[in-house]
Amino acid sequence: MTGNLITPKTKELILIYLAGRKEGYAREIANYYKMSLSPVQNQLEHLENSGIIYGKHSGKTIIYRFNQRYPYYKELIKLLEKVLLFLPESEKVKLLVTRKTTKKKR
């Protein structure tokens, strides 16, 4: 999607996901792209170590967002917003319309 500017592919997909949804956690992202959890976790860790995203604990889950302290934050967001424009309409709707799941009452 970025013409191999951002590799590996998993990292690119994570960044696009976070650009669309503003936040996300490993399993949610893996489920969205129908990927294994482990490579998503690895790339999230890599992105966090690079200062591009940061994670905040919410119970046992780590919620990731873009790190506004990253010196190229504004430029990166601009690039990713342009990438979002190129997504097929169906993908765009799927990504940008966040589905909040509610627990069923037992």
Please select the residue that binds other proteins; options are 73, 77, 87, 94, rule is CB under 8 A. Answer: 73
Can residue 25 be called a binding residue for other proteins (CB under 8 A)? no
Rg (CA), the chain: 14
Please select the residue that binds other proteins; options are 22, 27, 74, 82, rule is CB under 8 A. Answer: 74
CA–CA distance, 97 with 106 (Å, rounded to integer): 27
How far apart are CB 34 and other proteins at their closest, in Å? 30
The single residue listed with the structure tokens 């690895």 is 42
Question: CA angle 80-45-21, nearest 5°?
Answer: 35
- Build a one-symbol-per-residue string for 32-71: x at contacts with other proteins by CB under 8 A, - elsewhere: -----------------xxx--x-x----------xxx-x
